[in-house]
């Protein structure tokens, strides 16, 4: 599925910002994941990536833009399902979006399943596995950003106008960047500060299915969407309210990414 990307490693830019967690958050997710990898996974990842590292390739899928040949991959960064669903209905809608091979994935969930399978496939070339790994690292981060499970009609909050500490912006951008950057960490500092999961939490988070991850993000959309209805001028109160959610989601993404990679590369 990735042969065209081997020729021109670029993606079409979407008309709205879709950079979940930005550079800082994605790299923190990858750095946390590195802390929880098995020895087998570390060896395989090093072999596949060569001189590159997980944090540095975590933003690769956002950096590859502007080529119309790859417009079909733009939806890989998010999922749109109807609002107000319970887990069973959400799962049914989510799984209905997965088309059988050789169709390309049409959203982040389908893409995540596909690249995980590609990494396990012994018939895939080294280049195809490298691309699949880079997408996997990125997509796990994406699906933990609540507004990447947002509403189709407002493009995941991109058309909801708000202000952040006096600056005009939109709801999606606040969650992608402003909330992540507010503490002033580097990605290594962020990973060190957030990576405090207990062994019991790690076990619980890693045994859950990607469908459950997406449903968690989907549920978090409710408070995220309600905030600007009450007051679209986000001031200093906003970070204490939603900062802990950002921290939890970045931590869970890192721990779960490690669990997924450990499973893929188990010997």
The model's pLDDT over 163-198, given as tens digits with 9 standing for 90+, comes to 999 999 999 999 999 999 999 999 999 999 999 999
Looking only at the bridges linking them, the beta strands covering 233-234 and 161-164 are parallel
Alpha helices in the chain (DSSP H): 3-7, 22-34, 39-49, 54-57, 60-63, 87-96, 108-120, 126-142, 171-173, 179-181, 187-194, 199-207, 210-230, 238-264
Cβ–Cβ under 8 Å, residues 103 and 247: no
Q: What's the pLDDT tens digit per position in 76-134?
A: 899 998 889 999 999 999 999 998 878 889 999 999 999 999 999 999 999 999 999 99
Phi, psi of 219 (to 5 degrees): -70, -35
Q: Is the pTM of this model over 0.75?
A: yes
DSSP annotation of 166 reads T
Task: For residues 247-260, give the mean pLDDT.
Answer: 98
Q: What's the pLDDT tens digit per position in 21-75?
A: 899 999 999 999 999 999 999 999 999 999 999 999 999 888 876 656 556 778 8
Task: For residues 217-244, give the mean pLDDT.
Answer: 95
DSSP secondary structure string for all residues of 101-143: TTSPP-SHHHHHHHHHHHHH-TTS-HHHHHHHHHHHHHHHHHT
Cβ atoms < 10 Å from Cβ of 169: 18
Q: What is the domain extent for residue 204? A: 3-264
Number of domains the chain contains: 1
Q: Is the pLDDT of residue 211 over 90?
A: yes
* The pLDDT value given to residue 12: 31
CATH number at residue 155: 1.10.575.10
What percent of the chain has pLDDT above 90?
81
Q: Which two tokens stand for residue 21?
A: 């967690």
Q: Report how far residue 129's alpha carbon sits from residue 112's, in angstroms, rounded to the nearest whole number.
A: 13
């Amino acid at each position: 599925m990735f042969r065209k990307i081997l020729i021109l490693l670029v993606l079409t830019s979407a008309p709205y910002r879709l950079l979940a967690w930005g550079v800082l958050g994605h790299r923190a997710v990858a750095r946390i994941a590195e802390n929880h990898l098995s020895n087998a996974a570390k060896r395989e990842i090093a072999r596949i990536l060569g001189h590159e590292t997980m944090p540095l390739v975590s933003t690769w899928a956002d950096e590859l833009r502007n080529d119309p040949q790859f417009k079909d991959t733009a939806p890989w960064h998010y999922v749109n399902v109807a609002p107000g669903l319970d887990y069973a209905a959400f799962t049914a809608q989510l799984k209905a979006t997965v088309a059988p091979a050789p169709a390309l994935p049409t959203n982040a969930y389908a893409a995540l399943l596909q690249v995980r399978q590609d990494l396990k496939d012994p018939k895939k070339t080294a280049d195809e596995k490298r691309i699949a790994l880079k997408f996997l690292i990125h997509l796990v981060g994406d699906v933990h950003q609540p507004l990447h499970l947002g509403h189709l009609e407002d493009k995941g909050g991109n058309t909801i106008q708000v202000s952040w500490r006096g600056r005009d912006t939109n709801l999606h951008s606040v969650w992608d960047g402003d909330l992540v950057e507010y503490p002033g960490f580097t990605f290594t500092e962020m990973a060190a500060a957030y990576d405090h999961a207990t062994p019991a939490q790690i076990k619980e988070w890693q045994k859950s299915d990607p469908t459950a991850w997406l449903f968690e993000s989907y549920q978090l959309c409710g408070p995220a969407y309600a905030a600007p209805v009450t007051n679209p001028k986000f001031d200093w109160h906003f970070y204490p309210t939603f900062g802990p959610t950002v921290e939890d989601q970045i931590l869970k993404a890192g721990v779960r990414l490690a669990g997924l990679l450990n499973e893929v590369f188990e010997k």
